[in-house]
Amino acid sequence: MQKPFFSIIVPIYNVENYIEKCLRSIDRQTYKKFEVLVIDDGSLDNSGTIAKTFCHSKNNFFYFKKKNSGLAGARNYGFLRARGSYILYIDSDDFIENRLLEDAYKILKKSNFDFLNFGFDFVDEKGKSFKQFSRFKHSIVYGKNIFKKALTEDQIYSVAWNKIYSKDFLLKHKIQFPSIRFNEDSYYSKIVSRFSTNAVFMSGVYYHALIRNSSLSRNLNVECFLITNNLVKLEESDFKLSQLPKIFRYLFHSHVLRIFSRLLMTSSYRMKNYNDFLLCFDFAKNSNFFIYAKDKNVTKFLPLKNKILVYLCNYPFLLRFIAKILDTLKIRPY
């Protein structure tokens, strides 16, 4: 086929109940100059069969099977085989609106952008939308402001799937997903922002992210904290903070506070073993969480609700007690 403008990479692993809906939403795009690389990461259910059958009925869908290595490895595998000028990553249990590619093409054909951000929402298994991120304050952001926005999660969110990336930009800066199985999206969205010179925004809900009980993102354990601890060290090295003004180190430390306080809050809901729950605070301590929490140069970049959460993380028993009450009232952070 002719060289596509977009390459869409869809890793799959044990998603037999969702993969066809995902692929059909891509196939229904009103703009047609795209290819889809479906990467079967060693599925143990019927996902591979469903995806392979679907791909064989289309001339721009391509099925690949590989040994299981996790979401990051599957995405990197697809990227190395992509031929399009722009790259999208779509999770296999999510689905997209028909005009995503057409509306993005209208923007990207006029100017070269390192990446494009588009709006999204979260939906439950019944299709009900319960949280939207659909309006952007800016149309274009330049230079170091992009990285600042990513570190503070101001309109540049810590997910890989609400963005469209210039392949040339990714190749120039040798950007790939880290070989980890947790929080890889946070790393990717921020390292893209670190080296980007221009980013464009497209308001509207174009992507529907499914929240399901069995998804990997909901299976939180002590190992997730160990991985995040190592991830923070990797970020500190790869972001080359020493080459930036001092304010970016404070911004990075505020990012560490955000990521660990959210994990600690979520663990207070999900972890049944109290000793495991307490162990998570040790990993946060090893990432200097409690040192950064005392630095006003760092905490000033946090919204009030994040400051309160960081404060509560000093008191594990209180945090868990509050979580139990809120959970009883069916008030949950996820």
pLDDT band at 216 (very low <50, low <70, confident <90, very high): very low
In this predicted structure, the answer to whether residue 323 has a pLDDT above a threshold of 50 is yes
Query: Residue 217's pLDDT is what?
Result: 46
Query: Residue 93's pLDDT is what?
Result: 95
Q: What is the mean pLDDT of residues 30-34?
A: 98
| Tally of CB atoms within 10 A around 179 | 12
In this predicted structure, the answer to whether residue 218 has a pLDDT above a threshold of 60 is no
Provide the mean pLDDT of the chain.
Answer: 94
Question: In angstroms, rounded to a whole number, what is the distance separating the alpha carbons of residues 94 and 106?
Answer: 24
Report the SS3 class of residue 119: strand
Tokens of 296: 């006003």
Segment among 18-32, 146-160, 205-219 with least mean pLDDT: 205-219
Q: Is the pTM higher than 0.85?
A: yes
Report the SS3 class of residue 144: helix
- Quickly list H helices, 46-126: 47-56, 71-79, 100-108
CB 34 within 8 A of CB 101: yes
Instruction: State the angle between helix axes of 144-151 and 184-195 in degrees (0 to 180), rounded to the nearest 10.
Output: 160
CB 227 within 8 A of CB 124: no
Percent of the chain whose pLDDT exceeds 70: 97
Q: What is the dihedral of CA 58, 62, 68, 72, to 10 degrees?
A: -110
State pLDDT tens for residues 131-181: 899 999 989 999 999 999 999 999 999 999 999 999 999 999 999 999 988
Instruction: Give the containing element (helix H, strand E) for 279.
Output: helix 274-286
pLDDT band at 332 (very low <50, low <70, confident <90, very high): confident
In this predicted structure, the answer to whether residue 1 has a pLDDT above a threshold of 70 is no
pLDDT band at 327 (very low <50, low <70, confident <90, very high): confident
Q: What is the mean pLDDT of residues 92-119?
A: 97
Strands 34-40 vs 6-12: parallel, antiparallel or unpaired: parallel
Q: Which residues, in sequence order, are bridge partners of residue 96?
A: 207
Task: Report the amino acid identity of residue 104.
Answer: A
Query: CB-hemisphere CA count at 13 Å for 111?
Result: 12
State pLDDT tens for residues 58-90: 999 999 999 999 999 999 999 999 999 999 999
Task: Report the amino acid identity of residue 143.
Answer: G
Tokens of 309: 């959460």
Would you give the DSSP letter of residue 7? Answer: E
Tokens of 141: 């952001």
End-to-end CA distance of the chain: 42
